[in-house]
Amino acid sequence: MSGYRRLGDPFGYGALVLRMSRQAFDEIVDLAVREYPLEACGLLAGTDIDGEASAPTFHACRNLAASAKLYTVDPADHLRAERAADDADLDIIGVVHSHTHTEPYPSATDVRDAPDPGWHYVIVSLKRDAPEMRSYRIVDGQISEERLVIE
């Protein structure tokens, strides 16, 4: 896996951590299961300071691609999530999507289309009986897995 570092340090912050609320985690898994066999997507709102992020809120978004292999966040839903985050003094800090039949690891398309190097990229896989979730940072094509802590 060229360009992959587990719990890497591409930004000089030390180990990267994404702390997600139990409510956001549950909402993500629920959306992924409901949208199956299509990919689900949404945005994370929270704070990100020195490589340790907190994501208390998940905003489900419509997948305009309506595909089992691709996702496109609906721009209207993105705007709605931005406004809700602003109202709560939070920022959009990442994007979430599901992989319906593959591992929770960024695909070549995920890497190519990663919109913001500061974002967290959370993938939930429905490949096995129980959903699996992982989080990554993607900067200049480099993928770094970060620790995901559910609180």
Please give the share of the chain, as a percent, with pLDDT higher than 70: 89
Q: What is the pLDDT of residues 89-100, one digit of tens each?
A: 999 999 999 999
For residue 62, pLDDT over 90 is answered with yes
Fold of 4-150: Cytidine Deaminase; domain 2 (3.40.140)
* Cβ atoms 144, 5 nearer than 8 A: yes
**15 pLDDT tier (thresholds 50, 70, 90):** low
> How far apart, in whole angstroms, are the C-alpha atoms of residue 19 and residue 138?
18
Mean pLDDT over residues 118-140, rounded? 95
DSSP 67: -
* Cβ atoms 53, 64 nearer than 8 A: no
Going from the C-alpha of 68 to that of each of 37, 99, 100, 123, 147, the distances in angstroms are 6, 8, 7, 14, 26
Other beta carbons within 10 Å of 151: 12
> How far apart, in whole angstroms, are the C-alpha atoms of residue 53 and residue 11?
14
pTM of this structure: 0.89
Beta-carbon-side half-sphere exposure of residue 15 (alpha carbons within 13 Å): 8
Q: What is the pLDDT of residues 37-57, one digit of tens each?
A: 999 999 999 999 876 799 999
> How far apart, in whole angstroms, are the C-alpha atoms of residue 33 and residue 35?
6
